[in-house]
Amino acid sequence: RTALTVIRNSAVEVGLPLFDRTSRKVSLTTVGEYLLAYTRRVLVAMRDAEGYYYIVDRAKDMIISGGYNIFPSEIEQIIWSHEGVRDCAVVGIPDDKWGEAVTAVVELKADASVSGEEILRLCRARLGPLKTPKHVEFWSELPRSAVGKVLKSRIRDRFWATHGSRI
């Protein structure tokens, strides 16, 4: 059984395991002390049956669609696996029926030709209908910080600019 946990931290990278599965050297207690010592960002973690935590995503990136919590990092991993994709970001955009609709914004590699339907088929096959994006947009370039990190806030802002408030 897994438990959803919110952890505040700035020292742990999203998507990386918090312990070495082979050696099992980092215990839950050690992780807890470490995380409590460096508190800045809110991260969502899952606890496995053995009591170890895995960072799933940042809480601010979580999409709430029809009452379900959807984590963009899981969807992004699938989209990145496509050979024509250079980078992508998955965000929630306003949706009158569901609150937020899962949307993939994709930057293709040079000379790649990929359709939105290809991305949707890939996601549907590996994630099922709930996590499959409802929309796919192709941008020539995703907004990035000075160090090259994709700025999801700018992507979200573009979709939410004409909508009164964010969820």
Which residues fall within 8 angstroms of residue 43, CB to CB, at 6 or more apart?
6, 7, 8, 9, 12, 14, 55, 56, 57, 58, 59
Tens-place pLDDT, residues 34-58 = 332 233 456 677 777 777 777 777 7
In this structure, are residues 76 and 88 in contact, taking their beta carbons and an 8 Å threshold?
yes
Regarding predicted confidence, which is higher, 48 or 98? 98
State yes or no: pLDDT of 10 exceeds 70: no
Residue type for position 6:
V
pTM (2 decimals)? Answer: 0.74
Residue 1 has pLDDT above 50, yes or no: no
Integer Cα distance of 165 and 148 in angstroms: 28
Overall average pLDDT of the 115-135 stretch = 96
Greater model confidence, 120 or 54: 120
d(CA 151, CA 52): 30
